[in-house]
Amino acid sequence: MLLLASGLTKTYRTGDELVRVLDGVDLTLKAGESLALTGESGSGKSTLLHLVAGLDSPDAGRLVVAGTDMVQATDVQRAALRRDAVGLVFQQFNLIPSLDIAANMAFQARLAGRLDLGWLEELVQALGLQGLIHRYPEQLSGGQQQRVAIGRALAGRPRLVLADEPTGNLDEATGDAVMALLLQLVAQAGAGLLMVTHSPRLAARLDRRVHLAAGRLHTVEPLA
Amino acid sequence: MRPAVGLLALLSHWRRHPFQLAMLLVGLSLATALWSGVQAINAEARASYDRAANVLGLDGLPRLTMVDGSAVPLARYGDLRRAGWPVSPVIEGPLPGSDLRLIGIDLLTLPTEARLMDPAALDLQGFVAVGGEVLVPAGAAARLRLPDQPRLRETADLPPGIALADIAQAERILAAPGLSYLLLSRDAALPADLPADLVLARPAAGEDIARLTDSFHLNLTAFGLLSFAVGLFIVYSTIGLAFEQRRGVFRTLRALGLSAAALTGLLLAELLLLSPAAGVIGVGLGYLVAAVLLPDVAATLRGLYGAEVPGTLGFRPAWWLGGLAISVAGTLMAAAQSLWRLWHLPLLATAQPRAWAHQAASGVRWQAGVGAGLLALACGLGLWGVGLWAGFGLLAALLLGAALILPLILHALTFCAGRLARGVLAQWFWADTRQQLPGLSLALMALMLALSANVGVGTMVGSFRLTFTGWLDQRLASELYVTARSAEEAAELTAWLAPRTTVILPIWSAETMIEGQPAEVYGMTDHATYRDNWPILLGAAEMWDRLAAGQAVLLNEQLYRRGGLALGDLVDLPGGALPVAGVYSDYGNPRPQVIVATDLLVARFPDIPRLRFALRVDPAQSAALAQEMRAVFDLPEAAVLDNTRVKAMSLQVFERTFAVTGALNVLTLSVAGVAIFASLMTLSGMRVVQLAPVWALGLTKGRLAALDFARTLVLAVLTLVIALPLGLVLAWALLAVVNVAAFGWRLPMAVFPADWLALAGFTLLAASLAALGPWRRLARMAPANLLRVFSHAR
């Protein structure tokens, strides 16, 4: 099992009030499987994604990602997991502004010490970034930046790709194109995919869909 | 919208960003403090010169002296008065047993321009009565022990170093053989041609103390200005950041009906509220700085120029108001660019915070172009400039040019380092460092200015110290120096000393006018002591023989340079001109000096006191001989000095002289350290956006914080590396251009690598302290703060 979560809880303090964002979440994901996570704004989708990525830690419950127990893991172990096993795609792209596109795409794979230049070149071709690799993020459009972010997430051949509203900042046509590429390349890399999205249309393109409401997950049956 | 509502909305920013407000106030206070501290010192010194000028106004008037340099006989004065000459007699000389100079005047005939002090403060009867009182500066009476102690009256109206008495009283106290000189009114019409036995000396422009010390005060002002500029870097960056962070608020206020002019006016009002507050703090701090530094400044002025300034600070309302004004002016100067941009900000301009100090590449290139132009100007001034102003122009162009070009150099260095780096983290480190440069460049410029000033001034002082120490060894070659109290005692002393010493060398001197300037003429006895040791800079063939034969003179470097003289040129002396045979260094002496053979001195100035002698003895016996001499002749401690003690005293004066420079150096460096701290703290808020993705991709916060810490140190070290050569050029400019123009001597330049290591240590310490806060903040940052970067709602 690539991802195993059970009884996950997470509480935030907002002013004087304690808000339980996740209240006993159970979730599994197998290698090569794709899962859409939907929910209203503020329902805790991103929080769940951040816990899985090791960017934050749960208050209680069990969470194992790619064989690492995230509840027991130290800061260093979580950083190692992110570097070695996880690819992250954010809505805001979050590229490194001081590096050019080529360096951005190779960054995480080089950090993990497994840059495969052939695979990187394949990604550049597939993402249509050939003419842009010496530019800087600020010189690219939103769609182009998100393609770079996908390339960065996949360059190290991670076991798990986590995508947080990857098309949320893009128009529909660009979003569809980026989504198609993401699914194609994740499948090609043999990785699992957990994607947060508002869009039922995009969610429908993944293997499974779960909905987060009132801090709990509900499985959504595919339409027809 | 009511303006007050808008102003409150703007001011609320500072409530939410108290650290920024603190930095604004700290920057402005420090800038104002160092500037107004220096101004307070200058104001105090100038007030003292003004008082001195009222007394030494005598020096500003034409005077008659005897052609042969001897005292003017009283009868000669009487003849002139009877012939209708509007002359007034003066007797002047060192007051025995004190460091005061006694001036004896005749109140009845004194020209009106030389009115010495407020007549209301003068008790006329007490002053002119037989055995009348001697006026001395406040605090001096207790130290004075005069023979037949006259009545002393302390007065605050006299400058330090001057005592004043009626001419008859002065004649008695000084045992003067005649009058020192006869004063004339500035525009007095002479009733006849000048008699052949008299010479008329008109003071040349630029001779008074205030003019002489102008260069020193300019030096201090330049330091004050440098510190002010370094402080303003903090203000500029803080205001820039506050404006950038409020772009959204500006847009909202504009959308709600506030015009661009009204908004600019409100921001101006906000600055005018804040700046006087910082000004008050700054002026208060400046007063403390001035009070601490003034005693050392007074020592400097006494040591270098013979100018007397009291070591305590007075209260001057004009200075306080000036400090507040400079604080407000500095704020407006630092805010001008931001206000200008706000005025031209389109209503629908993006409200998204962006890199507030980000400059377009073209802006950096333009800035570097101006910097290169200024450096070229500095080269031109260094090669062809003449005089003090050219020297200061050179320093200003050099420092400003280098500061403007610094960001481009750092950009190039970090770019090259990035290209050479192999690891992914190293490459990111250099790329990210390059990205931080626009935000840090102002603080780094401030640091570079402070460091190069430190290296430059340190090298100058170090070179001076090295030269001065060697020079003292040469000048103080004799083992003992003795001063008799009277001619009779001098005769007894020399007779007693003759069998006990290798040689007795007279140190006798006279005062006269040379090249239109008051100068000293010293006698030198032909002896190996001088031939082997005297610090000669330039010498003609057979210099010593011609000097000993009374056929030539030696000049000190000051007279040689200021008079534009060359070897072989004739120097006018009472009794006839003599050619220049040599030039010697004479550091620390503000006055022109000429050396002639002792016999010639005595022949041309027969009335000089013959009281001082240098003694050559077996060094092992010198202490015992000094003790015996004191015991036999009941001489006071200060009358017999050995050369090691004189050297120690001279070096002590030297160190004190440059203590003020050292203090200003450290203060300026500290302000630069605060500038870096302010920049790093204000940038650290923006760093989260840049660092969060790297953290998300697999780096720990601790490692990121360590890299950020290292980045600050690397930038500080790179800045130091650039500041070093700049500081050495600065030192060269100070030694070869400014010092020559200001003091009249040129010193060989020495370098002090050990000082650079100490400075590197100080720089790393300052940078570490400045980076410590942001480092802790990042290392301890809660994940939630980093996660906000990825939040959709941004």
* Residue range A182-207, pLDDT digits in tens: 888 888 878 899 999 988 888 999 99
The residue among B683, B695, B792, B794 with the most chain A CBs within 10 A of its CB, best to mutate, is B792
Half-sphere exposure of B761 (CA within 13 A, CB side): 6
DSSP conformation class of B467: H
Residues of A with CB under 8 A from a CB of B: 12, 41, 46, 50, 53, 55-57, 75-76, 79-80, 82-84, 88, 90-92, 94-99, 103, 106-108, 110-112, 152, 164-165, 168
The answer, yes or no, to whether residue A70 has pLDDT greater than 80, is yes
Q: What is the pLDDT of residue B364?
A: 75
Q: Do B783 and A56 touch (CB under 8 A)?
A: yes
Q: Which of B366, B369, B334, B357 is nearest to B437 (CA)?
A: B357
Angle made by CA atoms A126, A127, A130, in degrees to the nearest 5 = 90
Higher pLDDT, B85 or B47: B85
- The amino acid occupying position B133 is E
Q: What is the pLDDT of residue B203?
A: 53
Q: Do A75 and B701 touch (CB under 8 A)?
A: yes
Residue A196, min C-alpha distance to chain B (Å): 12
By DSSP bridging, strand B152-155 and strand B134-137 are parallel
Higher pLDDT, B353 or B5: B5
Lowest mean pLDDT among B248-262, B470-484, B698-712: B248-262
DSSP conformation class of A131: G
Residue A17, min C-alpha distance to chain B (Å): 17
Q: Does B352 touch chain A (CB under 8 A)?
A: no
Residue B192: count other Cβ atoms within 10 Å of its Cβ.
9
Q: Do B698 and A82 touch (CB under 8 A)?
A: yes
Q: What is the pLDDT of residue A222?
A: 60
Q: Do B432 and A80 touch (CB under 8 A)?
A: no
List CB contacts (< 8 A) between B786 and chain A: 55
Percent of chain A predicted with pLDDT > 70? 98
Q: Does B790 touch chain A (CB under 8 A)?
A: yes
Percent of chain B predicted with pLDDT > 70? 86
CA–CA dist B297, B490 (Å, integer):
37
Q: With bands split at pLDDT 50, 70 and 90, how would you rate the model's confidence at B56?
A: very low
Q: B226 with B453: CB under 8 angstroms?
A: yes
Residue A224, min C-alpha distance to chain B (Å): 32
Strand, helix or coil for residue B166:
strand
CA–CA dist B240, B254 (Å, integer):
19
- Which whole number is the average pLDDT over B36-64? 68
Q: Which of A55, A92, A164 sits opposite B794 (nearest CB)?
A: A92
Lowest mean pLDDT among A135-144, B206-215, B270-279: B206-215
List CB contacts (< 8 A) between B784 and chain A: 12, 56
Q: Which of A83, A90, A96 sits opposite B428 (nearest CB)?
A: A96
- Which whole number is the average pLDDT over B358-368? 68
Q: With bands split at pLDDT 50, 70 and 90, how would you rate the model's confidence at B318?
A: confident
Q: Which of B432, B696, B790 sits opposite A82 (nearest CB)?
A: B696
CA–CA dist A39, A197 (Å, integer):
8
- Integer angstrom CA distances of residue B380 from A172, B143, B394, B399: 64, 53, 8, 14
pLDDT digits (tens, 9 = 90+) for B99-137: 677 888 888 888 877 655 555 666 767 777 767 788 887
Q: With bands split at pLDDT 50, 70 and 90, how would you rate the model's confidence at B713?
A: very high
Q: Do B690 and A99 touch (CB under 8 A)?
A: no
The token pair at B613 is 């002698």
Q: What is the pLDDT of residue B657?
A: 63
Q: What is the dihedral of CA B536, B541, B544, B549, to 10 degrees?
A: -140
Three-class SS string for B24-79?
A: HHHHHHHHHHHHHHHHHHHHHHHHHHHHHHHHHHHHHCCEEEECCCCCECHHHHHH
Write down the mean pLDDT value for chain B.
81
Q: Do B434 and A98 touch (CB under 8 A)?
A: yes
Q: A9 with A23: CB under 8 angstroms?
A: yes
Q: What is the pLDDT of residue B599?
A: 93
CA–CA dist B411, B549 (Å, integer):
67
Q: Do A55 and B696 touch (CB under 8 A)?
A: yes
Residue A125, min C-alpha distance to chain B (Å): 23
The answer, yes or no, to whether residue B18 has pLDDT greater than 70, is yes
Strand, helix or coil for residue A81:
helix
CA–CA dist A104, A81 (Å, integer):
19
Report H helices in B308-387.
Answer: 317-343, 361-384
Residue of A nearest to B425 (CA): A111
CA–CA dist B29, B31 (Å, integer):
5
Higher pLDDT, A195 or B145: A195
Sheet holding B612-616, edge to edge: B503-506, B612-616, B480-483, B640-642
Q: With bands split at pLDDT 50, 70 and 90, how would you rate the model's confidence at A93?
A: confident
Q: What is the pLDDT of residue B724?
A: 95
- Which whole number is the average pLDDT over B211-240? 72
Lowest mean pLDDT among A30-44, B465-479, B513-527, B594-608: B465-479
Higher pLDDT, B65 or B728: B728
The answer, yes or no, to whether residue A48 has pLDDT greater than 90, is yes
The answer, yes or no, to whether residue B373 has pLDDT greater than 70, is yes
The answer, yes or no, to whether residue B302 has pLDDT greater than 80, is no
Q: Do A96 and B692 touch (CB under 8 A)?
A: no
Helices (H) and strands (E) in chain B, counts: 24, 19
Q: Which of B690, B698, B786 sits opposite A111 (nearest CB)?
A: B698
pLDDT digits (tens, 9 = 90+) for A55-66: 888 999 999 999
- Which whole number is the average pLDDT over B562-573? 88
Percent of chain B predicted with pLDDT > 90? 19
Angle made by CA atoms B595, B601, B605, in degrees to the nearest 5 = 130
- Which whole number is the average pLDDT over B221-249? 76
Lowest mean pLDDT among A73-77, B320-324, B416-420, B592-596: B320-324
- CATH number for the region A3-219 comes to 3.40.50.300
The answer, yes or no, to whether residue B721 has pLDDT greater than 60, is yes
Q: With bands split at pLDDT 50, 70 and 90, how would you rate the model's confidence at A159?
A: very high
Q: What is the pLDDT of residue B311?
A: 63
Q: With bands split at pLDDT 50, 70 and 90, how would you rate the model's confidence at B10?
A: confident
Q: Do B424 and A110 touch (CB under 8 A)?
A: yes
The answer, yes or no, to whether residue B680 has pLDDT greater than 50, is yes
Q: Do B698 and A92 touch (CB under 8 A)?
A: no
Residue of B nearest to A95 (CA): B693
pLDDT digits (tens, 9 = 90+) for B627-653: 898 889 888 776 788 888 777 877 776
Q: Which of A56, A107, A168 sits opposite B697 (nearest CB)?
A: A107
The answer, yes or no, to whether residue A5 has pLDDT greater than 80, is yes
Higher pLDDT, B156 or B714: B714
Give φ, ψ of A169 to 5 degrees: -105, 10
The answer, yes or no, to whether residue B375 has pLDDT greater than 70, is yes
Please tell me which of A87-96, B123-132, B239-248 the model is most confident about, judged by mean pLDDT. A87-96
- Which whole number is the average pLDDT over B450-457? 88
Higher pLDDT, B260 or B698: B698
Q: Does B694 touch chain A (CB under 8 A)?
A: yes
Q: Which of B700, B786, B792 sits opposite A75 (nearest CB)?
A: B700
* B518 contacts: CB under 8 Å, gap ≥ 6: B59, B207, B511, B512, B591, B592
pLDDT digits (tens, 9 = 90+) for B385-408: 877 788 888 888 998 899 999 999
Among left, alpha and beta (phi > 0; psi -120 to 50; other), residue B31 is: alpha
